[in-house]
Structure 1
Amino acid sequence: MTTELLDAALVEEATKKSGLIWVRGTGPERALWHVWHEGAALVVGDGPGEQPLPGLVDGGAATVTVRSKDKGGRLVGWQAKVVELGAGTEAWEAAVGELKGKRLNAPDGEAMPLRWSRECRVVRLEPVRGVAVLPASDGDLAAVPLPSAATTRDAVPAGVPRLLKRRRAK
């Protein structure tokens, strides 16, 4: 019983302090921003301008890996039960109240909860009790990046170094 309580405390404290968690449901593993609230990690997504939540199915399972906020290394991993919150329910309202304060650069400000209720999903990732906390792996878990429309910058034009040099000379 003591080990289970220590594991739960480790999961809660590490997840609270981390800015991102890595979540794998039935789809690829994704980095998601979250909020820890009432014993679970809350995430919002699958809507326009929000993070994708592939493979997080209501009633399903997920594996969560928590990283260190300062160094970025893996701290702990845990198994979660996925619970999708229905819009307008008391649990949804409490979750959105927490999430809305942590959502950065929202395009619609105070209208965000209304948009989330129409177009997004709010999901609770509840730690499964009695399942041992997964140790941070010693191996490299690097993977090929997922396909994306994002691109890198073009090469610096040939004349830019000369322009910068002239500015420094003045």
Structure 2
Amino acid sequence: MTQTLALIEEATKKSGLIWVQGPTGPSRALWHVWHEGAAHLVGGPGEQPLADLGLADGARAAVTVRSKDKGGRLVTWHARVSELAARGEEWSAAVAELKGKRLNAPDAERIEERIEERWATECRVLRLEPEGSTVELPSGALTAQPLPTPAVTRMPMPAALPRLLRGRRRGRQG
């Protein structure tokens, strides 16, 4: 069991993203921080969308950890979800860690005061604690259909573009 927890902790600490599959909804990539034996994440308005995953206090989730350098799946572990009470001792400790990892916050100016206040009033801070010794190692291709999105792929590259780029390089060298 100790080796299993060490594997979960080390893999999750090193990964920038974890894939979380809650009781409902799709599996979603979420940024997190490992703190005091669990993955902590924040979601809500202006943050990660968590509403459709069913991550409520006492729920169970499957957490898949990817390799930071290769991007492949390393391990999947099962977690017990708990929502931390805003401004409580546990919440404050987790938020202190999460603030340091939050990139591009909408309230980046005076981040110390604003982000904590916004997270306390509008967002949820969740703790995903490893449960039992259940660990699944990767097997198979694990491909999945992408989630629907209004984003579109850009048009194909014009056929003449490679010739134009080659011509520019020759012009600069001469």
TM-score (norm 2): 0.84
Number of positions where the alignment pairs a residue of Structure 1 with one of Structure 2: 164
Which residue of structure 1 aligns with residue 100 of structure 2? Answer: 101
- For residues 34 and 15 of structure 2, the distance between their equivalents in structure 1, rounded to whole angstroms, comes to 10
Contact 1:65 1:78 in 2 (8 A): yes
CA contact (8 A) 1:28 1:55 kept: no
Amino acid at match of 1:138: S
Instruction: Show the counterpart of 1:20.
Output: 17
Percent of paired sites with the same residue: 62
1:52 aligns with 2:55: no
CA deviation vs aligned residue, 1:32-88 (integer Å, no higher than 9, x gap): 11100000000111222x211222111100011111111111111111000011211
Partner of 2:27: 29
Q: Give, as a single letter, the amino acid of the residue that structure 2 aligns with 1:32.
A: L
The verdict on how the C-alpha distance between 1:160 and 1:118 changes in structure 2, with shifts beyond 3 A counting, is farther
In 2, Cα distance between equivalents of 1:84 and 1:69? 27
Task: Report if the CA contact (8 A) 1:25-1:57 is conserved.
Answer: no
SS at match of 1:47: coil
SS in 2 for 1:51: coil
Q: 1:11 aligns with which of 8, 11, 19?
A: 8
Contact 2:4/2:135 (<8 A) preserved: no
Two-structure CA RMSD over aligned residues (Å): 1.9
Report the equivalent of 2:63: 64
TM-score (norm 1): 0.86
Compute the displacement of 1:161 (Å).
5.4
Query: Counterpart in 2 of 1:136?
Result: 137
Stretches of structure 1 that go unaligned for 5 or more consecutive residues are: none
CA contact (8 A) 1:47 1:116 kept: no
Question: SS in structure 2 opposite 1:93?
Answer: helix
**Partner deviation per Cα, 1:117-151 (whole Å, 9 max, x = no partner):** 222111000111xx333222311221111122333
Alignment of 1:108-119 (within 5 A): 108-109=107-108, 110=111, 111-119=114-122
Specify the alignment match of 1:120 in structure 2: 123
Cα pair 2:5 2:133 within 8 Å, conserved? no
